[in-house]
Structure formats: structure tokens, C-alpha cells
Chains A and B, each alone.
Chain A
């Protein structure tokens, strides 16, 4: 990595007295995007991912990326505890890391664990006094140089995210029922609290009011998006109907059906992931994200295909475009096949359909040297040997597959 990208990473803790925070930080990061969980949700198999990450995975494969259990996006549930944990951690991170690095260099004479503990206690003691004082600190990742202000920041952060933003009344809210009470009363109350107010709802609405801390400024009055988008069965939808649906959703409706499908899936994932957010983004922000997708992976991504060849493995792979682009190669191959064996003539079959049969034929005939055919559909037969081609869809690709690897 270019040293100018100073991205926070769990390994930042290694070589400091707080190296044990490296695994802690790792566990707060999504295994798919490797960043801190963003709107974490939990799967049926109890794995947690960013809402958007797991939705993208599920819409591609329908399986949990961690354990490969089948799952559906409908079954995803928000994981607030993890969300709060991430927020608290990322807020505390710059200060704590800074201290840890100083300690590693020997600048700070403090014993790190002790000073950290003291800081937390200190924060709790003064919690009620400082509510609202710095209540709207945003999550900043900038390095703080002076350890003293850290204490203040850590406190402020805890306050701003746990409670409704009600300044200086000296009270704190029960995290379950949101009832406000004196600081000392909270723990006693918690033992008895039945969570009368629907806990999800109150967690959900509370922070909406402090959306100054979110990444979408000016959005704090926006209502939550009305509802989640259902998955569509694209195979039963006619292109025109799908196009109209996209238009109704307010997203671009140009392109062939495959592209419409992909765009709809991406939009559904963006939208539904946004529904999982405590601080939902505006439609405008989502459209901007869809536009980024369009330019990198969607209909405007043509330029990128030099790097990433058309994803022929995707279900919605555009057969027509592929056949058109490689028409010459296919023709050459067909000509060759005809020469080799008269009964292989299949001019009436559409070219894409012909590929599998061509290659299994080739497999039956034994490996064929194809010279310089860059697009040779016979590759797999020689690549794998006839036995593997005949055997059915084993996931491993090796000549003698070893699933361990």
C-alpha cells in the first residue's frame, strides 16, 4: 500500500502495549469488506456482516460467506449491540491508539491498562454533567496529539450515541425503554425494566434525532424509507414490465434485461441495507451510490472490462453480447469441428448453446490441440481431462481435486 493511504487497520495495535486490541478490532470488522461493520445484521447462522455486504453476497450466491449455509435476505436481523459497539470503539480508537503509540515510543510514563481503566471510570462518573456539552462530536478519525482532550472525547461520544440528544437535564435514558432517570437509578432500573416500549423502535427512532453524527448531513428530518423492496422473480418478468418497475422506483431504466436485473438487484440491496440504518440516507445519496455502481459494475463499466473480463459466471451473463463479440472465434471453431468430424455439424443451434456440446464432444474425442484459438471452447476438456468433464459438477477444479485446499 502507498504509505499515503493511512487506513486504520487492526494491525495498528500490534507493537503497542495494547496489542490485544488487534483481535478485538478484527472482530468488529466485516469479513466481507474488512471495514468496521456498517449497519450490521445477523444471519440465520448467527454470522454478522454489514447489511449491504451480506445482501450482495446473498443475492449472488444465497449462502452465508462465512459458513456457506443457505440463507435469505428476508431473515437478516439488525444487530444493534454490534452497531453500538462499533460506534463506541471507532470513537475511542484514535485517542486510545495515540496513547498506545506514545507508550510504545516511551513518551508516556503511564501504565496503559490502568490509565485506560481510569479513563472509563472517569467518564462514567461525569457522564451526567457532560451530556450535551460536546454531545455532537462526529466520529473523527483524525489523530489527536494531546492525550488530555481524549478523555473528554471519549465521554462525549458515549453520551451522544446512547441517548436522545437532550442536553443538560442531568438525566440519562434507560437503554431498553428509553425512560429518563437519574444516572444512579439506571442500573437498578435495568434489573427491573421490562422494556415496555418496543425496544427496536425506540432504539431506532432515538438516534434519528441526533443524525448530526451521521454521514448524511441535512437528512435528519427525513423519514425512514417507507418499506423494504421485495425480491423479484426476474425470470417471470417481461423486459417491459421490469423496465417499468425500475422507472417506478425512480432509477435508470435503460439497457437490456440483464442489466435491468442487475441494476434492480443492486438498488434493492442498497435500499434494504439503508432500511437497516439508524440514520438512513436520502434517496439522492442512494441514487449517487447506484451511479457509482453503474460506472464500476453496471452499464457504464465497459471500460473496466479490460481488467475484469465479462463475468461469464454470473447467472445473468449477457449471452447475446458475448456471442456477438466472439462470433468470429465461434465460427472458426465450428469450421474446425466440422472438418474434424462430420457429425458435429450443428449449424441450426444457436452459438452459445453449442459451446457445451462442442466441448463435451471434444472431451469424448480426447484432447484436441487447438493451436492459437484464444477463445477455444475446448479448453475445459483438455484442462480437466475427459473423466472430469463427464463427472458431474464437482466444485473442485483440480485434476484430482482436494477439497481441503
Chain B
């Protein structure tokens, strides 16, 4: 797999079956993301692929800078609001590659230079993992 990924997607770390890291780039000329590489962390539970992996952006400093991309669905702590990563939107036919491509296209399509509403609050108090947050969202509405 590693030699045959789509352009702009590369495996950064895949030593075990619990956590992988992927580097993604936005390939078109979108000024928000041009020239940057972003790192995604995939955490796989024991029920993967029946249940979704946890996917979020992670940040690192120079010499290998990996910022958190600006996007109205991406919080500045790297947590991504994306339907297909939720329990309801997930399908076991998804792969690491397909998730990366979805996130890549989510970035490509964006032109808004902004964070989600309530980003500062959310980032300041959130200690939870993404899937638990989604749970409460679902729970509120069901």
C-alpha cells in the first residue's frame, strides 16, 4: 500500500495496528493550504472497521512543521467535525486511504479562513476523545 497511495497522501507512521499517522497535502492552489503538510492521527479500536477509527489532526513544530489546517469544521486542537468519522456516518468499507482523501477534498473545497464557532471555548475545556463528544451530540438528539 505504502508505495501506491494517491498523490498528496503518505504514511508517516504505521508501526502497529492501534495508531497510524498520515501526512496529507492539498494539491491544488488553494491559498489556505498551499505548500503545507498536515498530519492526521488514526486511532483504531478493537472493533475497527465495524466502528470508525478516531481521526484528528496533530501538530508538531519545526524542523518538520505540521500545523492544524484552518477550516470551519476543524477545531484548532485538531478535532475534525466530519460526518463519515461519526458512528452514524461511518461505513466499514472506508479505509485509511479513503478517509484521507475525504479530508483532503474537504480542505480543497474550503475557501473560508475560519475555525468553527465556539472554537476557543471548545479547545479550552475539551479533554475528551472525539468519539465521546460525538456520543453526547447523538445522545442529545435521539
Contacts and interface: CB of A to CB of B under 8 A. Distances in A.
Interface of A: 1-2, 9, 11, 14, 31-34, 53, 56-57, 60, 65-66, 68, 296-297, 301, 304, 307-309, 311-313, 355-356, 359-360, 363, 367, 369-377, 379-385, 388-389, 391-405
A375 B125 contact: no
Given A34-B95, A372-B125, A389-B141, A11 B50 contact: no
Given A381-B140, A397-B134, A405-B73, 15 more contacts: A1-B2, A2-B15, A57-B92, A66-B91, A296-B46, A301-B46, A313-B138, A370-B125, A373-B127, A375-B128, A376-B125, A379-B128, A393-B142, A397-B81, A402-B73
A360 B137 CA distance: 10
Interface string B1-17: 11110000000001100
B35 to A, nearest CB: 23
Given A355-B139, A356-B140, A369 B125 contact: yes
A9 B1 contact: yes
Contact of B51 (A307, A311, A367, A396): A311
Main secondary structure on chain A at its contact with chain B? loop
A401 B83 contact: yes
Nearest to B93: A31
Interface of B: 1-4, 14-15, 18, 43, 45-47, 49-51, 72-73, 81-89, 91-93, 95, 102-103, 105-106, 109, 116-118, 121-122, 124-129, 131-142
A372 B131 CA distance: 19
A14 B15 CA distance: 23
A9 B140 CA distance: 42
Given A313-B87, A405-B84, A385 B118 contact: yes
B91 A380 contact: no
Contacts of B133: 379-380, 383
A399 B116 contact: yes
Contact of B83 (A313, A355, A380, A397): A397
B82 to A, nearest CB: 6
A209 to B, nearest CB: 35
7 contacts: A57-B92, A369-B125, A379-B133, A381-B140, A382-B118, A383-B118, A398-B73
A397 B72 contact: no
A308 B72 contact: no
Contacts of B138: 313, 393
Question: Looking at A381, A382, A383, which has the most chain B CB atoms within 10 Å of its CB?
Answer: A383
Contact of B72 (A60, A375, A399): A399
The 4 closest A-B pairs by CB, nearest first: A308-B45, A398-B81, A393-B141, A31-B93
Given A374-B128, A396-B83, A405-B83, A31 B116 contact: no
A115 B98 CA distance: 36
A33 B136 contact: no
Contacts of A382: 118, 121-122, 125
Contacts of A400: 72-73
Contact of A53 (B47, B92, B140): B92
B18 A307 contact: yes
Q: Max chain A CB contacts within 10 Å: which of B102, B132, B142?
A: B132
A50 B105 CA distance: 30
A397 B141 CA distance: 12
A60 B88 contact: no
B132 A398 contact: no
Contact of A395 (B73, B88, B118, B136): B88
